[in-house]
Chain A
């Protein structure tokens, strides 16, 4: 199925809209994302090193850190703190696994009063579903390609 192209405003109106619409502060957003995301990842990495120092195997330490990050993101989502932080840090919070956790927790919270199964359950992957589907499909495709290339 070919998707139709998005309609475009006539050029004279597009010019008026552009003149009066406040632009996205791209530079500030990039900087905030870099600093915020960088700080988040540095903290997580430090936590992992601390665990390794306590003689926890590297693989286990990284699993623990990932799980803790997901749990904290979900907790802050429920505490109504995450969305305010995300408005400031943007991609800095969305790109690490925190964004994935937030999309699940937010959707489940939103639909909680429609029932645990049909509400929270059915809607939990409303936003994250695309990431899972396309992530899995591309991973499988690449693995298959690598396998076939290895056989040659």
Chain B
């Protein structure tokens, strides 16, 4: 078999699928952030020249997908599977991107952990030979997410300091079989469980997702028989400042140590320190842009050897929340390695 099953949640590839090309794009705020240079394309206008924010989100996804295909030099007809997701009802931008691309399509959703789910599914399809090339794609847009999950964008609600800012960004990675000309591969996956410690506050997503992150990271290290020190960088998706601190305390309680000195949160790295964004960035775009942009670059340039990307998702439904259900959290882990 091409796949080593390590435990209930984790597997490793014997011949790891490679990232043949990647593309990320974002909005102006993200482009002006500390990682602005890693973007392939920046849209200075929130509408990206379209008539609605929803169309702008789809345009961003399409641009990321096309960039990944162009960089890899692969035509869309050669791609056998598209795994894509976003935060909107019925995964609309992804479905519309799939319509435009014409690639056989799986819709993905685990909130902001979607990019890792897409990478897991796409790498699995390539590794087992079900797909020659597979494209993983995901993104988020600040205005469509606010509309979907919170209040109208221009509504003057005072946000508490524990809230986060949904980023405008999309990322795509074209995965191909081992042996293709590429420096970065996906060597392993840990599928997360849904963890719910009964947090109900939709303005404290860090507290919702931190237990899921701690659970997935602990399971990953246990099943892989590795230490945190075996990674150059451990990335959480969008825990935010508060969520990161909570996660570290939970991990220490579980006996997982040495995480703090190699721990980065994509949402905070993308936007940098700024009170305007409260606890940091959130949204699929965080893990998609930092994982497939900055982290990919670090591996490709040989500055790092192995990175664990753990995208975190809060499975919030405004309807369920009003019906007094708590918010479940999830986190999927992807190991990115230099070949």
Contacts and interface: CB of A to CB of B under 8 A. Distances in A.
Partners in one complex: yes
A16 interface: yes
A9 B197 CA distance: 5
Contacts of B325: 7
Nearest to B51: A113
Interface of B is mostly: loop
Interface string A1-35: 00111111110010011011111110001000000
B246 A87 contact: no
A110 B160 contact: no
Contacts of B151: 106, 127
A8 B250 contact: no
Size class of B's contact patch? 20 to 34
A23 B211 CA distance: 20
Contacts of A102: 154-156
B34 interface: no
A25 B161 contact: yes
Contacts, number: 100
Given A85-B156, A102-B156, A16 B200 contact: no
B158 A106 contact: no
Interface string A25-50: 10001000000000000000000000
Contact of A103 (B147, B153, B155, B159): B155
A113 B53 CA distance: 10
Interface in B280-339: 324-326
Interface of A: 3-10, 13, 16-17, 19-25, 29, 77-78, 80, 82-83, 85-87, 90-91, 93-94, 99, 102-103, 105-107, 109-111, 113, 126-127
